[in-house]
Structure 1
């Protein structure tokens, strides 16, 4: 077991490779694979994850914002990078770094064409985002003629893919909704390609989509959370390996008498003598206040230690009354044996939130590069 002397997020790239190979096995050999590395690669280490995905043979990467893609280019990542939510103010940087924009509205399409033409670009690769029911970003069916007309008016851009996003791919109760989304996307993409006079890549499936709707893999699939070890379904979680393990240590142990309180606002009051341990991790590190007051817990020497009282900015206090431990011992916040999904469930949230919330001040340690 890796020992830590401070709060550390340990990233195991062997687990990433396992997850990548598992998800790859679910699609046809010719289907391209896009790895989503936005939000610091779901709270881990965007550079290390992107470099490993490139090494393993991923075809594309995706980030949310241009600045994320620029960082990857600066460290030498050469894969095509799709920017899922580009803003017009960053188009110059996007083009300079050979990033590929997702264009989702008439306004953003026109602004990008104007920038590409001004920079004398030819056939600059763009991706068209269709809204088929998530109602977040995307063109709809009334925009297809407009997209084709604007694209054919200029040599500055070339539509290399069109895509959409399933709203509830993990929810079997929403299967009809998902199938309707897939059908809508198939119609929209076919109409657009017919009007353009050329074919494009198409991609719609996220991690749960890869598992539940393999018939809709088109030419490429996209995976985010699955690469990091979480599948949104218990049976899929069992096939994946969490990449990240968050550990910290016991800074101090206190003996608390009956009727004493612990932490801010005296949120915990003991009704009997207990033993508490203070750990150097708090809401500034990503452990939100919603995990306090006994909801969240850490694991110390293979035993559950519930959080006592309110989560502080830099510390939590946990109940170690029945745990044999000493100052300097490790505490596991989440990892392969106690997944981030399990911790998130204690506060009625999801693994995505706890993973992406881990602060950049937390030390990262990358294994098996």
Structure 2
């Protein structure tokens, strides 16, 4: 593969195919697969990822906001798209673009029904979200009678699914809590089905739920981070392939003497004769200041080079004293060998954060399947 000549994010569709097939292998044939492509498909490219997954016959997509769904529709995505966090201001757009809203409280339920009626809709698909312990979005179990009463007053909408979200499905110390969530959801779902008079799809599992709670796969699973190569455990990571590879180049090499300083606020002081490399990527590109001052690192010619000083808006400086390299050499921030999860861990954060932070000004290169 050609070496990087500038800062680029390579998106490996072959890795995406592998991850999709691996996660599907965990499911029963009847369980549907929803691919979460919010936040630019976890910092990659939502259009290219969704197009590829559509060719793999994925059943559903999910985005956070209606605007993300509009981008997919404009790109020719025809599969159903669930909007996980719609706001009333987007309801008309949702209907115009055939998106499907999650309805999570009384306000959005009433306002979406009103919008659907105003647009003369009949049996428009909606998804009802229940809160079972994450305490973020969702109706409570004791809201079932209220929800059903509102739904039975109108012919404008029909419930395609009811769902909830596990709070700690990756944490082996929280198995008891996760099992309580699962039982709570099943109980709520049964009450809802009995009162509504038909059976919507049920879904609860995210990537870690797929891996750790096979009895809770139900009718559909929602996979996000696993599709992009991370299984929330070292063991599962071995079975997955990172889709995104962030690379750059050495712009300039400096030789500095003892006690010379590097970068803003003179945050790094040389301990002796040292060599530093300046790389054209900074906090405006997604490499946060938390990675500065030795917390983060890159790889040059297979060797780790710690970030020194404060991360600049457009550049970082790294220590290359013991690395044989030259200006123009490729720099790997993360790839399939040097994983984003390792870099994230160095700054006490998670792979989700560094992946989704990669700026849209970073050039995307699509690597075909």
- TM-score bucket of the superposed structures, by smaller chain: over 0.9
Match of 1:90 in 2: 90
Q: 1:226 Cα shift?
A: 0.1
Hey, what's the Cα distance between the residues in 2 that align with 1:66 and 1:225? Answer: 20
The equivalences for 1:153-302 within 5 A come to: 153-302=153-302
Q: 1:238 Cα shift?
A: 0.6
Q: 1:202 Cα shift?
A: 0.4
Hey, what's the Cα distance between the residues in 2 that align with 1:146 and 1:212? Answer: 33
1:103-158: CA deviation from partner (whole Å, max 9, x where unpaired): 00011100000000000000000000000000000000111001111111100000
Hey, what's the Cα distance between the residues in 2 that align with 1:192 and 1:130? Answer: 11
Hey, what's the Cα distance between the residues in 2 that align with 1:197 and 1:359? Answer: 47
Q: 1:4 Cα shift?
A: 1.5
Match of 2:19 in 1: 19
Aligned residues: 369
Hey, what's the Cα distance between the residues in 1 that align with 2:15 and 2:174? Answer: 30
Hey, what's the Cα distance between the residues in 2 that align with 1:152 and 1:163? Answer: 19
Q: 1:2 Cα shift?
A: 3.3
Q: 1:198 Cα shift?
A: 0.3
Hey, what's the Cα distance between the residues in 2 that align with 1:42 and 1:85? Answer: 16
1:281-324: CA deviation from partner (whole Å, max 9, x where unpaired): 00000000000001100000000000010000000000000111
The equivalences for 1:60-99 within 5 A come to: 60-99=60-99
Hey, what's the Cα distance between the residues in 2 that align with 1:59 and 1:276? Answer: 49
- Pairwise CA RMSD: 0.6
Answering whether residue 140 of structure 2 is matched by residue 140 of structure 1, we say yes
Hey, what's the Cα distance between the residues in 1 that align with 2:187 and 2:196? Answer: 14
Match of 1:363 in 2: 363
Hey, what's the Cα distance between the residues in 2 that align with 1:95 and 1:21? Answer: 32
Match of 2:49 in 1: 49
Match of 2:58 in 1: 58
Shift >4 Å, 4+ stretches: none
Hey, what's the Cα distance between the residues in 2 that align with 1:142 and 1:294? Answer: 51
User: Structure 1 stretches of 5 or more lacking a match?
Assistant: none
Give the secondary structure class of the aligned counterpart of 1:101. Answer: strand
Q: 1:5 Cα shift?
A: 1.2
Match of 1:131 in 2: 131
Q: 1:3 Cα shift?
A: 1.4
Match of 1:303 in 2: 303
Give the secondary structure class of the aligned counterpart of 1:39. Answer: helix
Hey, what's the Cα distance between the residues in 2 that align with 1:127 and 1:69? Answer: 15
Hey, what's the Cα distance between the residues in 1 that align with 2:4 and 2:174? Answer: 43
Q: 1:365 Cα shift?
A: 0.2
Answering whether residue 317 of structure 2 is matched by residue 333 of structure 1, we say no
Hey, what's the Cα distance between the residues in 1 that align with 2:106 and 2:2? Answer: 52
Hey, what's the Cα distance between the residues in 2 that align with 1:93 and 1:46? Answer: 19
Q: 1:220 Cα shift?
A: 0.3
Give the secondary structure class of the aligned counterpart of 2:2. Answer: coil
